[in-house]
Every structure is written in C-alpha cells, then in structure tokens.
Structure 1
C-alpha cells in the first residue's frame, strides 16, 4: 500500500463536501471513494469527516490534515507539470481580474497568448472583488495599487494614470476647483473606488467623494460626467477618448497622483511553471502598449 493511497480521494471529498461529487471529479466510483476514505482513517487512526445522510464535513483533525495534504498534492502536481511541460505552457490557467481592465485589455492579451498553445486551458474570472488566489485555486491575479499578501509574488506588468475631470458645461455652472478641499463644494460621481487620489504639497492626499450619482461601471461614470452630472476620477482609458474631443476637461492637473502600478500576482509555489512565467512576460510586453 502506497502512502499516497486515499489522499486524492480525501482531498476531493473535502473540497466538494460530497462522496458522489468527489467520485465524479476524480473519475472513480462512490464505493471506491468511500472505501479509500475508510482505509485512510484507519491508517491515520482518526476520524476525518463527520457524516450524516445529508452532509459530509471535515472534523477538526480532518481540517488540519486537509491543509497539509492539499499543499503537498499541489506541489506534487506542479513538480510533475514542471518536468512534463518542458517549457511548453499546458494544463489549466485560472486568472482573475477586475471587470473593466479584464474586458478591455487582459482577456484579449491572454486569448492571443493561448492561441499557439493548444494544451493550455484558460479560465478568466472578471470580478471587482478581491479574490483569495490560494484559497480559491487561481493561478494568476491582475491587481492595481499595493499588494500586501506575503504569500504572493508580484510582478509589475504596466501602470495606469488617474484623471479627475468634468464636462465644460458643468464647470461653467459650478466653477473650477483649485484644490482638493474645493471638491466638497462639487457634485462627485462615485465609481467602484470610494477613494480618490491626489498629490498635494509633496504628499499623497486621499479624498472620499460624495454625490448623488454612483455606479460600479466606469463607462457609466464617464458618461454621467460628460452629461454634466458632476466631477469624477477614473483611469485614463475611460477619460482620454472624451478628452480628445473636448467633451470633458481635466481638473486639478497640478495635483495629479503618481501613476498606479498594475501587478500580476501569483502563489509563490507556482512561479516556475512555464504557463505562469510566459503569460506574465506576455502581459509585460503587451499591456503597456494596449493601454497607451
């Protein structure tokens, strides 16, 4: 009997909370999975699951055992993949990115990257929530701003500029703000970020905008701005097309914040995999050009 016997079945049950779903996920019968778990519990001399007719849940011992087994199994699979790939990206690549950045730039770049690699499967999840890459099984995340998770490696792939702007007719009515504090006298259009960034007197200055129009779509925010609803701050790719045609005007230009970095982040144990190395290199080469 191998010391690995029952580990994959255990991980599958712990992940799916079901013997039936676990069996389907690993291509085995429920009977096989049940027998493997029973033999594993006998080997470790501990109950790993609390079972009822309707639920399967890890015991406290099972939870600790699962954390160790999952990490070891991932490292085993990645070691095999690292040798087996021999420089060719293959397997599954799961990526998470914010919706607008993903739709406009990241998804097209990764699609082009995947085209010459038929052994590579791609899943891109576009969401504005902060995803726990490790807990949720993602290979790569695209993040802006500061990354503080010590479990992740961060590689800068681009940067973006934030512009504050308003429509000319709005400014004709409300006046031109000359400092950050003047924004309190203006109608602010709030997007996904509840904090606006400026650079004032050599220091970073944060402003929490308030207004009667709020939307989690940057495109909707810039269109409201063009319509004269108020002032907004957005990444340059939203603002520049309207700025070019005089439909908006930049405000507080002398208080422009530093460019915001865009990072590719990935779990430390995956940084040697060809699929990670090569997609990050591709993003570094193409994202700056695509956003300019």
Structure 2
C-alpha cells in the first residue's frame, strides 16, 4: 500500500504532533532533554564553515535528537515549511518569529593589487560605477561615513551565489567585491587583496538565530540557540 500525497502529509503532521507532545513532557521535566527532530536552515557558507560543526557537537550527547540541516541561500518560511531554526543575517520582520542575536560579521570591500594597478582606486562610493564589480548574494553594497549611510547597486560581468567563487574572481584581478570578513581576511593577510573604501565601511551585520515563536521554549530550540550564542562568534573570529 502506498500513501497518497495528502496521506503522506497527514502522516508526517501526526508524527510531528507526537514529537511535540514528547517535547512538551520533557519541557516540564527536571532535565528537559532535547529530543525529536530538529530542522535547521542556513546559508551554505555560514553552515559549512561554522554552524554545522557547532550543531554537530551539540547533538552528540543527546541520543534522542535527530538533526536535519538544509543549506540554502533563500529565505525559508520557517512556519509554512516546518523548520525549527534558521541562522541568518539582516532584519527579522516576521511577527511569527522570535530571534536572538548570536554573532556579527564585518563586510569588507576589496580588490586585487593587479586590478588596482590598471584601474584607479575608488575614493568614494560613486566611483564604483566606473569599476568592474563582482556580485555575490548581496545585490546591494552598503557603506557608511560618519552618520551617513550609502549604498551601491554593483554592476559587472561576473555574478555567483558562492562567496568562494567571488573572492577567487577578485584575486584573479576580475574586479572589486564586497564580502564578509571570513572570506577576505585570510587573503588580505597574504597580500592577495587590498581593502578599498575602508574609511566608509558599513556597520557590522548581525547574525540571528531565528525560530517560530510558539517553539522557542522547547529544550532542543532553547539549548541549541544558547550553544550558538556561546560558540558562533568565537568560531568566526
């Protein structure tokens, strides 16, 4: 016998309800052990390098906890798609969601010495219009001088949703890019890239652990968020 799509959805929902019952019982117990399924979504770069190792270490001492991590650069609807937790940047505007700031990241703008040898170094944000810009997942670049914020819509011949590919194109003299610190700093230390517009660097960008409001008291959510708040900033430094 094979379930129809409707039957499968109903069965999965019943399983979820049973898990939530067990979690509710754990919540009022003395220990509140994390258990059941924990579905997490995060951007590819953040998760592979930082989030997945932290969640893996968190999971190991909890044999009743099952983890699924979805790597995606899209903004997932946690409530509609049945996710427990997201790690994301930017502003959290959905009233159905709770959020806790667990870390921050710095955005740098840079270019390779070879590119800057043939093109004048930009002195102001408007100068970027004359340059080849390498575009990643952020299609708007942010800057700040004093109390005034600026933005730039980068244009260029190379676009990719992989930060690794963007920084490699930058190192290859393809143009200017703006990326989080963990992509740029290793190459900056080796002299493979140089900062541009460093006096107009934007404010640090918050990284949030985001979860459906109704689930934030469950032990598995509460404890993994606490773990991220403790370990993520240190692992990114």
Aligned partner of 1:284 among 229, 232, 236: 229
Give 1:103's aligned residue: 48
> Is the radius of gyration larger for structure 1 or structure 2?
1
Shift of 1:200: 3.0
Q: Distance in 2 between matches of 1:250 and 1:210?
A: 19
Answer whether contact 2:23 2:34 (CA < 8 A) is retained. Answer: no
Contact 2:88–2:208 (CA<8 Å) still a contact in 1? Answer: yes
Higher relative contact order (CA 8 A, sep 6+): 2
- Say whether residues 1:247 and 2:235 are aligned partners: no
- SS class of match (1:117): coil
For the residue of structure 1 that corresponds to 2:79, the secondary structure is coil
Please give the alpha-carbon distance, in whole angstroms, between the structure 2 residues aligned to 1:75 and 1:108.
Answer: 26
For 2:11 and 2:128, the matched residues in 1 are separated by: 57
1:134-177 per-residue CA deviation (whole Å, 9 max, x = no partner) reads: 00011101110111011111100000000000001111110110
Kindly indicate whether residue 70 of structure 2 is the aligned counterpart of residue 117 of structure 1: no
Alignment match, 1:185: 130
The runs of 5 or more residues in structure 1 that have no matched partner are 1-12, 28-69
1:179-202, CA deviations, whole angstroms, 9 ceiling, x for partnerless residues? Answer: 000000100000111111100352
Deviates more, 1:180-189 or 1:74-83: 74-83
Note the residue ranges of structure 2 that are not aligned, 5 or more in a row: none
Kindly report the root-mean-square deviation, in angstroms, between the aligned alpha carbons of the 2 structures: 2.4
Which structure 1 residue ranges, 4+ long, deviate > 4 Å from structure 2? 22-27, 72-78
C-alpha distance in structure 2 between counterparts of 1:185 and 1:216, whole Å: 23
Distance 1:129 1:23, change over 3 A: closer
Match of residue 156 from structure 1: 101
> Contact conserved, 2:19 with 2:36, CA < 8 A, in 1?
no
* Count of residues in Structure 1 that have an aligned counterpart in Structure 2: 235
TM-score, structure 2 as length reference:
0.92
**Number of the residue aligned with 2:143:** 198
What is the aligned counterpart of 2:164 among 219, 224, 242? Answer: 219
Return closer, same or farther for 1:26/1:184 CA change in 2, 3 Å cut-off: closer
